[in-house]
């Protein structure tokens, strides 16, 4: 089930009605749990079993870690949780990838190995809920959090449908306490939640799917045709806008849906295309993943506590694994590795010019350079092969032979105009929040913008395509 579907609208109306009905709090939580399983089962019912396995294993692992005083026993239960969760993730998401690479290595050694047919279906959102459940047992093991008091609360944390399949990646300490006492949205929360849902759907349905995706697809899915320089840039910039509107649209919708039910979830995007530097970008882009990687990979790998060499190794290791988390392909690893190079270079330059404070012009220039280099990384994220990425980069740099026009003038102009508007909006909003802007904006203007977005979502004709990050 996807947010941008009539099925979800009906589903959410029923969930909202039941949540506001005069039932005991435990009954309402059971309703939310059942609804969350139905939401996930709409894709592929058997994969609900994987949710049950992760939920039960991690619940009991945390319980036994708390009951034991022996460090060896605690470590054993923690490792059971890690092995089960990463084992499921590795099998379903990386099974084909590992097998294909094994066959390639064997072939390079002169061994002709033909593996049997292996049809693995990727469970939607497995990367997201795996990281969420892992944070629970790891935090309990590290004594940074206590286990949930009730199994129902923990099971609802794992499966809570707004964040289940594409984040934000929640921590138990952020959500489980909200399940302990009755919660119901105020009229203000309900209104703001519906407005956020509308904004998220507008970003996804109208901007990402309606205007940006066709341009990106025309360039990147051109079946071997080398694009002209302008088309290459237009396709890449369109994809930069598409992936932001698609993913931020999902996160905004999820936060809005949760708020309509009375629950708060953290921001996942803070105007990332206004970032000045790459550490700033990752403080603004997919914030919950960035925090997860920092706490459970970067710091355990040494962080910045053991000298520059160890810090750079930790940065590269974290970003390479972060790239692999996004997809089972070496192009995603390259995407993450390129971000690791950017972060390492930025860290070295900051140390070299530690006393320099950029003025407004320099700040704008650095932001433009950051956005330019971010678009270079998007080439590896969007291209299906290194060969395709190379063709695109050569076209963008103007070093390739003359390519062919792939995008009509009007769609290109509209897409570039939307991307320019996104970047300009991010720059204006980089130091504020949507909530702050809403507070000082006249109500009639807010109502007009809201109505316009809702109207655009309703009239947009589309296929109800899934969000990009469902594949991760």
Q: What is the mean pLDDT, run by run of 10 residues, along the chain of 472 residues? A: 88 96 96 96 91 95 91 94 95 89 86 77 90 94 92 96 91 94 94 95 95 96 88 97 96 96 96 97 96 95 88 96 94 97 94 86 95 98 95 93 88 97 96 91 93 91 64 62
Q: Answer whether residue 15 is part of any domain.
A: no
439 sits in which H/E element: helix 434-439
Check whether residue 219 and residue 284 sit in a common domain.
yes
Check whether residue 123 and residue 29 sit in a common domain.
yes
> What's the structural domain count of the chain?
2
3-state helix, strand, coil in the chain (%, to 5): 70, 0, 30
Q: Give the pLDDT of residue 400.
A: 82
Check whether residue 208 and residue 236 sit in a common domain.
yes
Check whether residue 300 and residue 159 sit in a common domain.
no
CA angle 208, 199, 197 (to 5 degrees): 115
Q: Answer whether residue 14 is part of any domain.
A: no
DSSP 209: I
Check whether residue 269 and residue 316 sit in a common domain.
yes
Last residue of a domain, one of 155, 183, 211: 183
Check whether residue 47 and residue 29 sit in a common domain.
yes
Of 19, 163, 286, 326, the catalytic one is 326
Angle between helices 187-201 and 443-459 (to 10 degrees): 40
- The token duo for 125 is 């959102």
Q: Answer whether residue 10 is part of any domain.
A: no
- The token duo for 402 is 């003359």
Q: Give the pLDDT of residue 470.
A: 63
Q: Give the pLDDT of residue 466.
A: 66
Check whether residue 159 and residue 209 sit in a common domain.
no
User: What range defines the domain where residue 376 resides?
Assistant: 189-466
Check whether residue 194 and residue 171 sit in a common domain.
no
Residue with tokens 């589903």: 11
Phi/psi at 288 (5° precision) = -70, -35
Last residue of a domain, one of 183, 200, 223: 183
DSSP 227: B
- The token duo for 132 is 């969420």
Q: Answer whether residue 11 is part of any domain.
A: no
92 sits in which H/E element: helix 71-108
Phi/psi at 227 (5° precision) = -80, 155
Q: Answer whether residue 5 is part of any domain.
A: no
Catalytic-residue membership of 286: no
Q: Answer whether residue 346 is part of any domain.
A: yes
Check whether residue 199 and residue 156 sit in a common domain.
no
Last residue of a domain, one of 183, 199, 215: 183
Q: Answer whether residue 389 is part of any domain.
A: yes
Check whether residue 225 and residue 173 sit in a common domain.
no
Contact present, 179 and 156 (Cβ < 8 Å): yes
How far is Cα 84 from Cα 129, in angstroms, rounded to an integer? 13
- The token duo for 150 is 């009730």
Q: What is the dihedral of CA 450, 454, 460, 464, to 10 degrees?
A: 120
> b vs e for 291-320, b when ≥16 Cβ sit within 10 Å of the residue's Cβ?
bbbebbbbeebbeeeeeeeebbebbbbbbb
How far is Cα 36 from Cα 152, in angstroms, rounded to an integer? 13
Q: What is the pTM of this model?
A: 0.94
Q: Answer whether residue 4 is part of any domain.
A: no
Check whether residue 226 and residue 131 sit in a common domain.
no
Residue with tokens 């909530």: 435
Check whether residue 175 and residue 263 sit in a common domain.
no
How far is Cα 59 from Cα 153, in angstroms, rounded to an integer? 11
């Amino acid at each position: 089930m996807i947010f941008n579907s009539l099925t979800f609208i009906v589903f959410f109306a029923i969930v909202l009605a039941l949540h506001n009905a005069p039932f005991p709090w435990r009954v309402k939580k059971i309703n939310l749990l059942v609804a969350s399983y139905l939401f996930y089962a709409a894709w592929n019912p058997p994969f609900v079993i994987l949710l049950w396995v992760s939920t039960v294993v991690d619940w009991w692992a945390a319980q036994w870690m708390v009951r034991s005083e022996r460090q060896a026993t605690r470590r054993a239960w923690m490792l059971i949780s890690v092995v089960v969760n990463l084992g499921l993730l590795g099998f379903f998401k990386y099974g084909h990838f590992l097998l294909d690479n094994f066959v390639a290595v064997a072939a390079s050694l002169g061994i002709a190995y033909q593996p049997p047919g292996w049809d693995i279906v990727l469970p939607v959102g497995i990367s997201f809920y795996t990281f969420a459940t892992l944070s629970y047992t790891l935090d309990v093991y590290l004594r940074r959090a206590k286990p949930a008091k009730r199994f129902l609360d923990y099971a609802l944390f794992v499966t809570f449908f707004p964040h289940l399949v594409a984040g934000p990646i929640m921590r138990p300490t952020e959500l489980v306490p909200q399940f302990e006492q009755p919660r119901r949205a105020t009229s203000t929360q309900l209104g703001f939640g519906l407005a956020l849902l509308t904004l998220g759907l507008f970003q996804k349905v109208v901007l990402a799917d309606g205007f940006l995706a066709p341009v990106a697809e025309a360039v990147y899915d051109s079946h071997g045709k080398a694009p002209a320089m302008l088309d290459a840039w237009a396709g890449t910039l369109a994809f930069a806008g598409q992936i932001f509107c698609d993913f931020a649209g999902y996160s905004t919708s999820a936060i809005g849906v949760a708020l309509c039910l009375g629950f708060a979830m953290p921001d996942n995007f803070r105007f990332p295309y206004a970032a000045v530097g790459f550490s700033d970008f990752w403080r603004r882009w997919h914030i919950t993943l960035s925090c997860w990687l920092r706490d459970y990979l970067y710091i355990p790998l040494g962080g910045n506590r053991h000298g520059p060499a160890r810090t750079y190794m930790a940065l590269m290791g974290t970003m390479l694994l972060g790239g692999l988390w996004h997809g089972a392909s070496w192009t995603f690893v390259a995407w993450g590795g390129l971000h690791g190079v950017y972060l390492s270079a930025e860290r070295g330059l900051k140390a070299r010019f530690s006393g320099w404070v950029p003025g407004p012009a320099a700040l704008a220039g650095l932001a433009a350079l950051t956005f330019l280099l971010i678009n270079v990384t998007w080439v590896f994220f969007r291209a299906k092969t290194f060969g395709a990425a190379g063709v695109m980069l050569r076209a963008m740099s103007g070093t390739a032979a003359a390519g062919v026009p792939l995008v009509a003038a009007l769609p290109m102009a509209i897409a570039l105009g939307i991307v320019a508007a996104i970047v300009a909006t991010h720059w204006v909003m980089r130091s504020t929040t949507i909530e702050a802007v809403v507070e000082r904006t006249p109500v009639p203007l807010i109502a007009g913008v809201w109505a316009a977005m809702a109207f655009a979502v309703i009239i947009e004709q589309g296929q109800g395509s899934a969000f990009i990050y469902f594949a991760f």
